[in-house]
Structure 1
C-alpha cells in the first residue's frame, strides 16, 4: 500500500481573516508557517473568549472559559475575587491558554466549520480586588463583564511566553486536514508592561 501526502501552498490568508497583505505561496514553506507575531496578536485581540487551563494546589488539572481583553501584549481576565480561578492560578502563577478563532464567514452559518486556534503558555499574575491596578483595568472591559463585577472583581494578568502554537490560522479550509500545512509556531515577542 502506498500513501501519498500532498501539500498545497497558497497565500497566508485574506484581509477578511485579518491577514492584511496576504502573500502568495512560494512552494518552500507551509502556509501557516509564514504567520507573523503581529498577525497572531491581531487575531487574539479581535476575539474575547478563551479557555484557560491551570493546575489546582492538589495537582488536579482544570480549565475554564473566560472573557478577556488584550491591552498591549497581555491578556487581562476579570474573575470573581473568591473564585477557584483566582485562588488556583494565584497559587501556581502558570496557565495554558487556547483562543478559538472563528472562521468560515457566511459558510459557518450552514456548515459546521471548526475554529482556528491559538494556544500558548503564560505567566499569570492575580491582582486582588481593590488593588490600584484593578480599577482602571476593569473599566477597560466595558460591556464584556457585568457592572457589579467591575467594582468587586479581581484581574488575572496573562503574559504569554515563548511561542504561539496555531492551527488553521490564515489557512484555507481545505488545508485544515493537513496538520503540517495548518500548524505553526510563532514567537510571542513580548512588549513592556503598561
Structure 2
C-alpha cells in the first residue's frame, strides 16, 4: 500500500537525491512503530544517514529494541527547520520528510567499526554507543514531503508545498 499526502500529492520536480541530501544534513527524527499488542508508539531519535539508510542507536532493553523486531516496520518523520532569523519572529512550522520503512535491530556489537553506524559516535557519548543496539532503517516506497524544495510563502499552500518522491 502506498501512502500519499492526499489526492493531489505530486512530485514538483523534487528528486530523491535532493531529499536524501536534506536527510543527511539532519540528525533528529521521530521514529514510530507498533507494539506486539498493536499499540502505536513514537519517540524522538538521533540518527545518521548513509547508503540510503538511516542508523539509530537505542538502549538494549528499550521499547524500540524490543518491539520493532516484532513487525520489522517503522514510520519516520524528519523535521526540517526553515526560516532562519525569520523563524525567531514568526511561528514558522518546520518542513517535513516522512516515509515508511523496513527496520532491522542489530545485536550489540554486530556492526563493525567503519560501518555507517559508527558515525553515530559523533552524536552520542562513546559509553552509550558501546552498550546499544543499532536500528538500521531501509526507506521504502515514497518520501512524503512538505515544504521541501519550496519557498516559505509556498508552504502556505498545501497543494504546492507537498510532494511525493520515490525513495530510490
Which TM-score applies when normalising by structure 2?
A: 0.89
**Which of 45, 60, 71 does residue 24 from structure 2 map onto?**
45
What are structure 1's unaligned runs of at least 5 residues?
1-29, 190-194
The 1-side partners of 2:16 and 2:55 are apart by 19
| Whole-angstrom distance in 2 between the partners of 1:149 and 1:89 | 20
Q: For residues 77 and 112 of structure 2, what CA distance do their matches in structure 1 show? A: 24
Q: In structure 1, how many angstroms separate the alpha carbons of the residues matched to 2:150 and 2:25?
A: 17
Q: Counterparts of 2:120 and 2:102 in 1: how far apart (Å)? A: 21
Partner deviation per Cα, 1:85-136 (whole Å, 9 max, x = no partner): 11111111000000000111121122221100000010000001122x1554
> Size of the alignment, in residue pairs?
159
Contact 1:86 1:126 (8 Å CA) reproduced: yes
Q: Secondary structure at the match of 2:153?
A: helix
Distance (whole Å) between structure 2 residues aligned to residue 151 and residue 79 of structure 1: 11
Between structure 1 and structure 2, the one with the greater Rg is: 1
Does structure 2 conserve the Cα–Cα contact (< 8 Å) formed by 1:37 and 1:186? Answer: yes
Alignment of 1:88-103 (within 5 A): 88-103=67-82
1:145 alignment partner, SS class: coil
Task: Check if 1:174 corresponds to 2:161.
Answer: no
**If the length of structure 1 is used for normalisation, what is the TM-score?**
0.77
Identify the residue that residue 124 of structure 1 maps to in structure 2. 103
In structure 2, the CA distance between the partners of 1:134 and 1:125, relative to structure 1 (3 Å rule), is farther
Q: How big is the shift at 1:185?
A: 0.4
| Cα 1:135–1:88 shift into 2, 3 Å | farther
Q: Deviations over 1:38-92 (max 9, x none)?
A: 1100000001000011000000000010000001110000011111111111111
Q: Which has the higher contact order (CA 8 A, sep 6+)?
A: 2
- What residue in structure 1 maps to residue 3 of structure 2? none
Question: Map of 1:1-194 to 2, 5 A cutoff?
Answer: 33-131=12-110, 133=111, 135-137=113-115, 138-189=117-168
What runs of 5+ residues in structure 2 fail to find an aligned partner? Answer: 1-8
Greater strand proportion: 2
